[in-house]
Structure 1
């Protein structure tokens, strides 16, 4: 950019356009030519302004257990753009820049969180094109309920990529279409929740970036045109704005009329005047008056091809068949809906919601079927077996 501030950063060595993928001192620029990067006597990589004693940036690793053995360390920049500090003797990595991303997600890096240490690996946009300081947008996995991919604008949900459903993120169907180029994998266990990817062809240069404008983009380098080409970008349309239609409603981006929100079957607008007169769906929908869905002949209807609702109020039930899911949900009056949890091979397990259904969207591609709890009157209006 045009900034006169100085930073320690990592960028591609052989591209004609300088493309920075990581910045160490993003919020602490050096405003003259005096920066010194060195390894201090504790084995940390530190950035000092002049020869001032307090570093403006440090890897800040506690190395006491290594120091006792008199072990020295080296800093290396690997070919996958990971800056690492390793012990000279054992080559063990004791710090890596991949654990502290800036705005860019690179192959072999991970996004998610460590359940044991509470460390989170997330992206945060630059402030502006010329200022790599922490910007307004963060891309991360939410830890509440079933983990799901979220972008926040400051602290407010901006866009939701949804949970991992076996081969894709529920709200990013475009990833499935690009599987010939990418190999995306996801781990969710007692230790970690982590999404990572790699590229099948080493010659393809790819990065995923959270832009300061709030877009999450996948870009690949075009050698012929000497430019970055966009593979896909989110959010795409109005319905991608988190909760634009409130709860218990469905946003259809292909509804070309001005109003894209419809209440789910069995629900009605919470604020009818706003909904019908002002075209404001943010108040969402509530269950129709007098509709009993507890021990009164209720059942489930299938609402097809959706981005599944916000999973912060969902519970994952591994190993259950769809029929078992239905029985379990029916027994529990607080269970409002369920879907298949893993669509990758033979559809297994389920996600069950206990509460309002938020941020549902009609998808034209790779959508999931939602089994929605309705009362017996509503059930009679549908031919789909309950």
Structure 2
């Protein structure tokens, strides 16, 4: 399934062209990518939605000179990348340009990068990053199976803190009795959520985030998915599949300027 997800990236890569140019200088915020207005690493461009919680641009992980297209928290002092486009295809030159060969795209306030067809109807997406997560689940992101298309969204760990390539751990929905999510190390199941009880996953008794977020589980003709939504949109909280093989909920504490782990798989 991880390989299938990567193939989906390759199939959609015709929508994006990455060109190599000179060196990184400074940041310029824009809100939409078009053919005539790309994200230019040479100019330090970043794509920022109206609420400014997220930013899209080029970045280098810790202790690496490779460049990646990614989305990160714009208002968190510790650079925290939540999505990477070219995970296993790093750019080794020092700068790049990101453009589209369709009508355009937009980074939503939720952190979802969407491609749309036509300038009139921007409600219909031809592609969206929320359908192809990296190692992070964000609020309002559907996690699970789209029954109509067969897309089963898989979250995969980074290879290491300095390499966002597809790592050894992954989490996805499987139908074993009742639908539930499994954490894999390679092909081996190492942890599961247990079935949905109506309030929480049976295998996560400590799951009690009702004061922080609301979790919705849907199983109908279209989807088998979970979505969590924050009660307070100014609080940043995410779920991450880590390189060490855990699935953690992390919440940003501005006073301490660090991410605190509240719930994990181990």
TM over 0.5: yes
- Answer 1 or 2: which has greater strand percent: 2
Q: How far off its partner does 1:34 sit?
A: 4.5
The answer for unaligned runs of 5 or more in structure 2 is 1-61
2:247 maps to what in 1?
216
Q: Does the alignment pair 1:28 with 2:89? A: yes
Please say if residues 67 and 95 of structure 2, whose CA atoms lie closer than 8 Å, have aligned partners that are also in contact: no
Whole-angstrom CA distance in 2 between matches of 1:119 and 1:138: 15
Q: How far off its partner does 1:35 sit?
A: 2.8
Alignment of 1:1-386 (within 5 A): 1-40=62-101, 43=102, 73-86=103-116, 87-91=118-122, 92-175=124-207, 177-235=208-266
Q: How far off its partner does 1:199 sit?
A: 0.6
Residue aligned with 2:130, SS: helix
Please say if residues 144 and 223 of structure 2, whose CA atoms lie closer than 8 Å, have aligned partners that are also in contact: yes
Q: How far off its partner does 1:183 sit?
A: 0.1
Total equivalences in the alignment: 203
Whole-angstrom CA distance in 2 between matches of 1:110 and 1:200: 17
Whole-angstrom CA distance in 1 between matches of 2:213 and 2:135: 20
The answer for unaligned runs of 5 or more in structure 1 is 44-72, 236-386
RMSD: 1.2
Residue aligned with 2:120, SS: coil
Please say if residues 216 and 227 of structure 2, whose CA atoms lie closer than 8 Å, have aligned partners that are also in contact: yes
Residue aligned with 1:98, SS: helix
